[in-house]
Amino acid sequence: MSTFSFRTRPKASEEKSLAVSHLSRAITVNGVLDTDGELRIHGHVLGRVNAERLVIAPGGSVEGDVVATDALIEGRLNGRIFAINVTLESSAEITGRVFHNTITVARGARIDARMPWRPPSYFETLDQLPETRE
């Protein structure tokens, strides 16, 4: 009985927590990354990123479009963010656009971007990204 409760408890917590993928500082990815879990980028990504929760760590960089529910940017991003909750930390460097529903910007963040607000329904129907590049 005791082993039963021991086994079920971690399993329940596993289901709640997202599968975490981690790209180290030394990695370069060229292409499309798609996950319904968490993705932490310490390295460099050239391409498109889809994640439930995205973290671009300090020193990490993404060149391309990013779609996420939660996005925490501490590194560099050249492209567009489509995320309901966006957090731009002081070490962030953003060039492009930040489509968001809620946003937090720390003092010191370098932002050269338009930051349009969108209702949550906008992000649910985001199968195809709009063409906003100019």
Partner 1 sequence: MTMFNRSDKPADAPDTTRVQTPAPAPEPVRPQPVSQPMASAARPSSSTGVSVISRALKITGQLESTEDIRIDGEVDGDVRGVSVTVGNGARVKGTVYGDAVELAGTVDGKIEAKKVVLTGTARMTGDVVHQDIKIESGAFIDGHLKPEFGKSDGKSKAASTPRPVEVKQPV
Q: Are 41 and 59 in contact (CB under 8 A)?
A: no
Q: Find the binding residues for partner 1 in span 8-37 (CB under 8 A).
A: 18-37
Nearer to partner 1, 6 or 107 (CB): 107
Q: Which of 115, 116, 113, 117 is nearest to 95 (CA)?
A: 113
Stretch that binds partner 1, among 4-12, 53-61, 108-116, 126-134 (CB under 8 A): 53-61
Minimum Å gap between C-beta 55 and partner 1 is 5
In the complex, minimum distance from the CB of residue 52 to partner 1, in angstroms, rounded to a whole number: 8
Query: Which tokens in the block code for residue 10?
Result: 């971690």
Would you count residue 102 as binding partner 1 (CB under 8 A)? yes
Please tell me whether residue 91 binds partner 1 under the rule CB under 8 A.
Answer: no
The residue count for binding partner 1 (CB under 8 A) is 44
126 touching partner 1, by CB under 8 A: no
The Cβ-side half-sphere exposure at 75, using a 13 Å CA radius, reads 20
Distance in Å, CB of 89 to partner 1, minimum: 8
DSSP secondary-structure letter at 4?
H
Token output for 80: 């567009």
Instruction: Tell whether the torsion through CA atoms of 27, 33, 37 and 38 is positive or negative.
Output: positive
Separation between Cα atoms, residue 73 and residue 58, nearest integer Å:
8
Q: Which residues bind partner 1 (CB under 8 A)?
A: 18-40, 42-43, 47, 52-53, 55, 57-59, 69-70, 72, 74, 84-85, 87, 89, 101-102, 119-120
